[in-house]
Each structure stands twice: as C-alpha cells, then as structure tokens.
Chain A
Amino acid sequence: KNQVEQSPQSLIILEGKNCTLQCNYTVSPFSNLRWYKQDTGRGPVSLTIMTFSENTKSNGRYTATLDADTKQSSLHITASQLSDSASYICVVSAGGGGNKLTFGTGTQLKVEL
C-alpha cells in the first residue's frame, strides 16, 4: 500500500531559526515528490516539485531534498518567519494522472517570537 509518513507531527520554533521537516514514502512507481504549504482554512500551495532525477530544489528560504534510493525527502526552512506558521504536506505521485497522489498528514509548524 502506498504511504507517506511525515515527522515531526508538530513543531514550534523561534522566529529566525532554521528547521527541517522529514518525509518518508513507500510509493511505487515513483514519478515526483511535492511539498505544499497549507495555511489554516486555505488550500495547499506548491513549494517545490522534484522528479526522480532531482535531489534538491530551492524556493526562496525553502530547500527540499530527495533521496530516491532511501525514499526520503526533507524540507529545510531557513531564517523562519511568523508567516511560515502553517501545515507542510509531503505528496508523492505515482504518475499517470488521476488518483495517483499519496498525501502525508502534514507537519504543523508554529513560529513564535
């Protein structure tokens, strides 16, 4: 069964600090891995997308890594801001369109002063 597991479930950090969120997956076949940011009461917004040939992708202060051999990904947030407080969802696609996405349950990040 395809699964995506994220850790930690929740995290509190001080503004300005860095943090790393983890994603482990067992999805086959593998097409791409995406990280989304979801603010409370809003839809998910794409941060990064990586195919199997990419092992790192950056989007501003967000940097995602992918190890397709160990089936692990991480999302590193640098110099956190209060606006980074959100749920971060890891999504793995088996490709081919349709219902081929497996969602993690997200890491709830809170950035405090």
Chain B
Amino acid sequence: DTGVSQDPRHKITKRGQNVTFRCDPISEHNRLYWYRQTLGQGPEFLTYFQNEAQLEKSRLLSDRFSAERPKGSFSTLEIQRTEQGDSAMYLCASSPAYREYYGYTFGSGTRLTVV
C-alpha cells in the first residue's frame, strides 16, 4: 500500500455537468475525510466517514454534493450541476481511529476546473 490514492488528478468540466471523484485510503485506515482547498487557503473540511458511516458533514457540503463510502473502503465524492465556484482542489485523507494523528495521510488531490 503506497498511501492515499485519488482519481482523477485533474478534471475539467463544463458548468452544469456532474463530476465524481474517487479516493482509495490506506487499507488499514477506517477513517476517511474529504476537504476542499482553494488557492492560497488551507484545506476546508467537507465530511468524514468512520468505516461506511458518514459521521459528520460541513455546511459547505451543499445539496449538490454527496459522498459515499459503501463498503468502508474507497469513497466517492459527487458534485452535481457544477458551478464555477466549485473550482478547487479536492483532497482526501485517511487515518486510523486510534492515535489518528500519527497516521493521518493526505492524498495528492483532484484539481477541478469548472469552465
């Protein structure tokens, strides 16, 4: 296992289209997090899962956003009817539940550009 994998690395889409991103966490990690990061800012929390349960969602996660982790392994983040303001880097991170800080690992992100 080489870390947290995110796919695709880059996505360009037209406004109004739907997009879906995938995150594969480190296999033994049962916690998975999604963040959004815009230029010059730190990551902003979107949502997190423990196993397959989505335990917390940010107010940033509007009705157009949905995240799933159906079998407690990989996760998907879908954005419906994309808007130009959705253009950002979408980061996934995973961690173990115990002493999560020592294993907290980010993926390389998916860069979304909405044109």
A contact residues, total (Cβ < 8 Å): 24
- Is A101 among interface residues, defined by CB-CB distance under 8 A? yes
B contact residues, total (Cβ < 8 Å): 29
Q: How many angstroms between the C-alpha atoms of A36 and B106 in the bound complex? A: 10
Q: Is the interface of A mostly helix, strand, loop or mixed?
A: strand
Chain B residues with CB under 8 A of A45: 106
Contact residues, B28-75 vs A (CB, 8 A): 31, 40-45, 48, 50, 55-56, 58
Interface residues of A (CB under 8 A from B): 4, 31-32, 34, 36, 41-46, 49, 89, 91, 93, 97-99, 101, 103-106, 108
Interface residues of B (CB under 8 A from A): 4, 6, 31, 40-45, 48, 50, 55-56, 58, 89, 91, 93, 95, 97, 100-102, 104-109, 111
Show 21 residue pairs from A and B whose CB-CB distance is below 8 angstroms, ordered by the A residue.
Answer: A31-B101, A32-B101, A34-B101, A42-B108, A43-B6, A43-B91, A43-B108, A43-B109, A44-B43, A49-B101, A97-B31, A97-B50, A97-B100, A98-B56, A99-B45, A99-B58, A103-B44, A104-B42, A105-B40, A106-B40, A106-B41
